[in-house]
């Protein structure tokens, strides 16, 4: 409890124990878990919750954590019939808005970056009826 009191003193903020929860590694013995929970006066959380769109617990592989970005971008651009100028605005807004928070937390894997680039290029260059277009390179 001292660490929380030190935090409150240093930050000037009050910790709301009613909103706090603790998560344990599978390697922590049950007796120690109960002791910690009782000492802190918090509850244990077992489910995978999200905070600001990201899972609150992240394992070794970050690829699955940020995989939702590709799904979100796909959902955003799917079925949009826009002019070339409208597509440009859409591509710029989607690619700058969606991954910003995630990129501030994690280095995105190249596979995700390639997926995003591919989705955006496909959306931008394909014609509305699904016909192929020309993907110009600068």
Identify whether 22 is part of a domain.
Answer: yes
Task: With respect to residue 101, please indicate whether it lies within any of the assigned structural domains.
Answer: yes
- Indicate if 78 and 121 belong to the same structural domain: yes
What is the rounded average pLDDT for all residues in the chain?
Answer: 76
Burial 25-57 (b: 16+ CB within 10 A, else e): eeeeeeeeeeeeeeebebeeeeeeeeeeebeee
- Give the position of tokens 């699904």: 130
The alpha carbon dihedral of 51, 57, 60, 65 has a sign of negative
Please give the pLDDT value at position 10: 95
101 and 42 assigned to the same domain: no
137 domain residue, yes or no: no
Tokens of 119: 């989705």
Name the pLDDT band for 31 (thresholds 50, 70, 90): very high
Report yes or no on 104 lying in a domain: yes
- Are 57 and 32 part of one and the same domain? no
Q: Are residues 36 and 85 in the same domain?
A: no
* 60 and 95 co-located in one domain: yes
State the pLDDT confidence band at 11, using cuts at 50, 70 and 90.
very high
Give me the domain span that covers residue 68.
51-125
- Averaged pLDDT, 41-67: 71
State whether 38 and 57 are in the same domain: no
Taking the whole predicted model, whether its pTM rises above 0.85 is answered as no
Q: Given a cut of 90, is residue 61 above it in pLDDT?
A: no
What's the pLDDT tens digit per position in 75-127?
Answer: 776 766 667 777 777 777 766 666 677 777 777 778 877 877 777 777 777 76
Same domain membership, residue 102 and residue 87:
yes
Overall domain count for the chain: 2
Do 41 and 63 lie in a common domain? no
């Amino acid at each position: 409890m001292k660490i929380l009191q030190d935090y409150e003193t240093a930050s000037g903020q009050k910790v709301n124990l009613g909103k706090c929860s603790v998560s344990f590694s599978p390697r922590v013995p049950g007796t120690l878990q109960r002791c910690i929970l009782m000492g802190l006066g918090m509850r244990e959380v077992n489910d995978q919750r999200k905070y600001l769109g990201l899972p609150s617990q992240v394992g070794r592989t970050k690829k699955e954590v940020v995989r939702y970005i590709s799904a979100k971008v796909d959902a955003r651009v799917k079925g949009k019939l826009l002019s070339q100028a409208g597509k440009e605005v859409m591509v710029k807004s989607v690619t700058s808005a969606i991954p910003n928070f995630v990129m501030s937390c994690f280095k995105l894997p190249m596979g995700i970056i390639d997926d995003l680039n591919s989705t955006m290029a496909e959306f931008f260059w394909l014609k509305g009826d699904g016909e192929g277009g020309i993907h110009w390179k600068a």
